[in-house]
Every structure is written in C-alpha cells, then in structure tokens.
Structure 1
Amino acid sequence: MKGFTQSDIDISQKNEVPTKSYFPFGIKATFHHGAISSHRAEVNEIIEGHTQAYELSFYKTTMGNKKWQQSYNYPKTGFSALAMNLGNKKELGMGFGIFPFIELPINQRKINWRFKIGYGLGYIEKPFDRKTNYKNVAIGSNFNALIYANLLWEIKLAKALNTSMGLSLIHFSNGSFERPNLGINIFSLNTGVTYSFGEKKVHVNNKIEERPHKWSKKITIGIGLKEIPPADGKKYVVSTCSFNFMKTRAEKSSFGFGTDLFYNSSLSDLNTRDSASTSNSFDNIRVGIAGMYSFDFGKVSVSVAMGGYLFSNYKGNGLIYNRLETRYSVSDKLFLRFAMKTHIAVADFLECGVGYNF
C-alpha cells in the first residue's frame, strides 16, 4: 500500500476549509462610569459628580469579502447611541451622541483585546449662555462633534453571549464653531454584554494581493466657520487648500507629506488685538508643511497629520498644528472629506470639502 508523502500532506493542508464560523450580527449594551477631566482650570467650575453613560450598539462582523477586512483581522463595524449623565444637572444637563464605529481585534485568544473607535454627532443639553449658564465655559453649542475611543477586553460566556470590560474616552467639541469651546473630555471604566445572532458564516481567507507601493498625488480644498473669543461673536470664514504626496503600505495604510495653505479671516482681528502692530493683507494667510499617516478601510480613510507653519503673521497659538481627517472615495479620483484642525489639544476649526487623486 502506497504511503502518504510530504507533498500529499501539504496539499491536504492547503485544501483544508476552515471550520470555525461566526455570527454576522450583534447588539451590545455598555455602561460607563467615570469623570470629566479637568484639562483646563476653567473646567473645574462645572465638575461636580461622576458621569454615567448608557451605550447601545448594533454591529456587523466583517467576513473578509473585502481585502481590507482580512488585513484588519475581520473587525466589527456598526452604529452606537449614547445617553450620558454628565454629573452636573444645572450647568451641563444630559449629553447624547450617535456615531458610526469600527472595532478592531488586537488578538484572538480566550480573552480578546479589542479597540473601538468612532466619531459622529454629540448633543449637550445645557451649553454656555451669558445670562443663564455663564459657568459652563467648556462648551458653547448644543450640537458638537463627538469622538469615542474604547480599549476593551472581551470574554465569551456562552455560544452567543460575551461580556467585556474597558477604558474609554468620550470627547465633545464644536471645533470653535461657537465659543466657548474648551471641550469636554470624559474618562470612564466600562462593562458591557453582547448578544450575537444570525446564521453563522465562515471567514473568507484568501491570499491578499498587496496594493502597489507607489506614490500618488492628492489636492484638497475645504471650507469652515469659526468664532474667536469672546463668546457670542461673529462667524469667520476659513478656507484651505492642500497638496499631498502619499505612498500606500499594503492594504492597511498610507503615509506621506504635503503643503497646506490656510485662509483664516479671524487672524487679522486676533493679530490687531494681541499686538501693537497694524493688520495687513497677509495676516489671514498661513502656509505650512505636514507629515501624515492614513488608516485605510476600503473606501473610507482616517488620517492624522502634524505640521508646522512656514509663514504665519499670527503667533498666538504656536507654530505646530494637527489635523484629524476622514475621507470617503466617491470614485478612484474623487473623494469627500471632513476634518478637524487643532493646535495640539486646542481646536482651531472644522472643515468639509472635496479632494482629487491624480
């Protein structure tokens, strides 16, 4: 009788079909208990009790039908809704939020380590009001951008039931669209219960063909509105134009550098206010160079950038700037974008716009 050769074993292993299957959908309830961070002395005026947040999430487990899903080890994507007791009924009231998210697996063991991140729309019940709520110098608008990050550990309890514990950060800011805008940062410990459902499916596990590691050129434009102190002032127009060189790294990410041109119509007023010099036609213009790193999820990319001003008559917020940006590809050439520009932890403005690859 002819025995098995090593090549027979290798062929058998290659043709072996994975047997482990996964629920495609799930719903999760999470409770957060924490506190508002006193990142600025003025924020202490509104910090009283601890915060409690109730989060309900619906998610879909990616099965690897797209290359980026396999590259990121089959993450979960979905939507979450938040209701928060901010610990100060008089000056803050309740906080609410709704946002899309992606939950990335860091390992695949009995205790799964995962990272959930998302951002969307936030609502603060009682923002600053010069007459009725002057102590709330942290936030000046009802509607705000919400940024959510949660580092969590998940344990399987039963076939379709998991529990988790984690450490989360929830951030509210309107990007200086309306003053005041020191922002609200909430750090919390959290615990949650997940119920998974649907017909189980097996992950697609094909060989991933890497994207060509080549440089591409992108040009973007954007527009936004902002206020400067004091509160209840006028809105200033901000516009941007950027030219970037980007290089892909496999299916997961890209990196690059570029130049930025900013027109910020508030800078001439700030320059006149903060110095004895008179304004001129170049006060509202800033030119900078920046390096960036992009996490690519198919048509959606999230990038972080840090840059420095080569030219800026206004020196009030330093020479370093940052950008957090989301891009959505409409086609191979055209994409939509939404970004927040900051100076380290101080928001400068929000912008939306379009970009073109060539």
Structure 2
Amino acid sequence: MRHSPQILHLIQGTTQGVLFSWERETFGEKEWQQLYNYPSYGASLLIQDMGSPELGRVYSLHGEYRFFFLDRKLNLKAGLGAGYIPNTYDPIENPRNTAYGSSFTASILFGLEYRFQRLFDLPLDFKVGTFLVHYSNGKTKSPNTSTNNYGLQAGLNYNLSETKKEYNTSSLEPISKDWTWDILAASGANDSGIWGEANEAFLTLTTSVNKRLSHRSGLSLGLDAFFTPSVKTFIQYRAAAFPELDNFQGDEDWRRVGLFLGHELYLGGWSVMSQIGYYVYYPIDYLNREYIKVGLRRYITDKFYVSIVLKSHYSKAEAIEYGIGIRL
C-alpha cells in the first residue's frame, strides 16, 4: 500500500506467502466470552515475500482473536505479534530498504470474512474476505517507514464432523464501578529518527483516575511524563546541522508532559487500551503536539498488570512502551 512517498521504489510487485493457523472455539465457560458472542482464539505463522529484493521476506508469529457477527456468518480477526526480517536496511549493502531498520518488528494482522454456510446442504462452507498486515518496529530503529500489505481471500471449508454446539448463557456476575487510581511506569528504547543513531532508553511515568462503565469498558483521565533522551539527541543534532530551520540552541528542555483521555476494552484477564493525548508542557516542536497510544494490558491480579503500548503522532510512530502498573 502506497502510504508514504519514501516506499514507492519498494513496491515492485505483488506479495506472496503462506499462512499457518491454529484456532480454538469458546462456548461461554468464562463471562467475557459471553459478552463478545463467543469468540475464537488462536495463533498463526505468516511467511511472506514482500515483492522486492530490497525487502525480502518477513516471518511473523501472531496471537489472534476472531469475533463473530450476523448469526456468526461475518467475522473479524485481529492479531498482534512479532516479525523477523533477515534483509534490513544497511547503508552499504541495502541502502534502498527505507521501510525496515531492524531485524525484529511488530506485526499487526486484521481480517474481515463472510462465510456462506452449508452449500448444497453439505458440511461445506464458502468464505470470502479481505486482510491487512502491518509491519513496524515503532521507531525502535530508523529507518521505519513500515509497510502495509492488503489483499482479498476466498476459500472452501469442509467440516469433518458436525456436532451440536451448546453455548453457556449464564447470568453475569455484577462488577464494581467505583473510581480507581493507576500508577504506571514504562520503558523501552528508541532513536531520534536520525539514521545511524544508536537506540536510547526512555522512561514514561503515568498516573490516571479510572471509571469502570460496564463489563466491557471503562474510561480514564490522566497525565503522562515523558523522559526521552532521543529527543535531546534530536535537538543537539538539529542545532548543529540545521540551525536555520528550528532556531535550536542545543540546550532546550527535552522532557514533555501530556494530558490524555483513554478507553479500556476488557477481554477477561486482558484489555485493549486506547488513548488520545495532548502535550500541556511542550518546550520544542517535535513530531506533533497531539499523540495517540494503543496497546494491550494483561492483569496479573486485580491490582497489578503489565502492558505493551505503541505511542504515535498520527501515522508517525515514536516508541513501543513496556510497562508495569498498579491499580488502587
């Protein structure tokens, strides 16, 4: 997909690959399965030739959920995982690969599928759909223009055995909707966006107040404090190399503070979080003043959780944050 002028020279043909998948159905043994119409879950391995010698192949492994609609004829698959790229950017050996700066990358997979069931009154289904695969390292290492690969799919499915499926429809236990308070510390490594610069570790401190709205969702309002040394490297580089562009002196404050509004979608012990933020302390113009966070949380107990989050400024990724938090 031509999402950036920097990758036009890399789009040389269609991609080819093979996808191996394992999937398991749910029948409502857990409450969250009933809430989401008994989704299935599984894993997949995708081996993909990206259609140009500069990009080469990507090997990615995903964890997936499949959600069903319209009497289970329509389904949405969402997968998140990691990919391995043997043929990355190299200033001498592979300078034209402006998409992949690191050997390891995040991999996101979405698929939408419609199934026509029991053709000719046989245990035979026909399915048709579309998919999107996104590879990006979240600015862990530049260049990171990333790629988006989309396509159509069609196929036949034959059920080797047919058994009546019984779904649990027990009543849901009530949940507490009290206000809570979160404290979260997250870290990782990124670079300034200057090709050839080393990664630098960063620290993000977050606090928020939260309100559970239902079994499915909750809202939060909070503050982020970003301590990102790669921003300091960016300031010093621009001050030395392009002083006329930004009027940087080289000693500007590189720290930022943001105010955010967030949403959390609960899936049992997991949750999908999304946040929209705005820097209330923004001493220099770096990327954009608005930022977005999307990611996953895994609750170890009712109070402790770990998280993985992608922070971006619209389409420009800044970092992947690995965090640990407590909810009081």
TM-score by length of 1: 0.84
Q: Determine the structure 1 residue equivalent to 2:152.
A: 189
Q: 2:299 maps to which residue?
A: 329
CA deviation after TM superposition for structure 1 residue 54, in Å: 2.1
Alignment of 1:1-358 (within 5 A): 37-88=1-52, 90-108=53-71, 112-157=73-118, 161-194=124-157, 201-274=165-238, 275-280=246-251, 283-358=253-328
Aligned partners of 1:175 and 1:340 also within 8 Å: yes
Question: How big is each residue's C-alpha offset from its partner over 1:275-305, in whole Å with a ceiling of 9 and x where there is no partner?
Answer: 333244x722110011111111110011111
Deviation at 1:258, TM superposition (A): 1.1
Question: Secondary structure at the residue paired with 1:202?
Answer: coil
Is the contact made by 1:255 and 1:292 (CA closer than 8 Å) also made in structure 2? Answer: yes
Q: Secondary structure in 1 aligned to 2:117? A: strand
State how far apart, in whole Å, the 2-side matches of 1:209 and 1:227 are: 46
Separation of aligned partners in 1, 2:273 and 2:49: 31
- Distance in 1 of aligned mates of 2:288 and 2:93: 34
Quickly say closer, same or farther: Cα 1:128–1:193, change in 2 above 3 A.
Answer: farther
Check whether the contact 1:288–1:307 (CA below 8 A) recurs between aligned residues.
yes
* Cα distance in 1 between the residues matched to 2:322 and 2:76: 27
SS at structure 1 position matched to 2:222: strand
Q: What's the offset of the Cα at 1:246?
A: 1.9
1:111-144 Cα distance to aligned partner (Å, 9 max, x none)? x111110110112231111111111101111210
CA shift for structure 1 position 193 = 4.4
CA gap 1:151/1:127 in 2 versus in 1, 3 angstroms: same
SS of alignment partner, residue 292 of structure 2: strand
Runs of 4+ residues deviating >3 angstroms: 157-163, 192-201
Deviation string 1:181-219 (CA, Å, 9 cap, x unpaired) is 011111211224446678754110112234233322111
Residue aligning to 2:241: none
Q: Secondary structure at the match of 1:146?
A: strand
- Answer yes or no: is the 8 Å Cα contact 2:192–2:233 preserved in 1: no
Q: Gapped runs of 5+ residues in structure 1?
A: 1-36
Contact preservation (8 Å) 1:267, 1:283: no
Instruction: State how far apart, in whole Å, the 1-side matches of 2:228 and 2:197 are.
Output: 16
Kindly tell me the number of residue pairs found equivalent between the two proteins.
318
CA–CA distance in 1 between the matches of 2:157 and 2:97? 36
Alpha-carbon contact 2:192-2:231 (below 8 Å) kept: no
Greater shift after overlay, 213-222 or 293-302? 213-222
Q: What do the CA deviations read for 1:237-296 (whole angstroms, capped 9, x no partner)? A: 11101112222232222222211111000112222333333244x722110011111111
1:161 deviates by 4.7
Percentage of identical aligned residues: 27
Root-mean-square deviation (Å): 1.9
Structure 1 residues 322-350: Cα deviation after superposition (integer angstroms, max 9, x where no partner) = 11121111111111111111111111011
Distance (whole Å) between structure 2 residues aligned to residue 160 and residue 236 of structure 1: 56
CA distance in 2, matches of 1:193, 1:125: 33
Q: 1:267 to 1:84 in 2, by over 3 A?
A: same
CA contact (8 A) 1:115 1:149 kept: yes
How far apart, in 2, do the equivalents of 1:161 and 1:93 lie? Answer: 37
Corresponding residue SS for 1:45: helix
Higher Rg of the two aligned structures: 1
Partners of 1:107 and 1:179 in 2: CA distance = 43
- Residue 321 of structure 1, CA deviation: 0.5
Q: Which structure exhibits the higher relative contact order, with contacts defined as CA atoms closer than 8 Å and separated by 6 or more residues? A: 1
The one-letter code matched in structure 1 to 2:182 is K
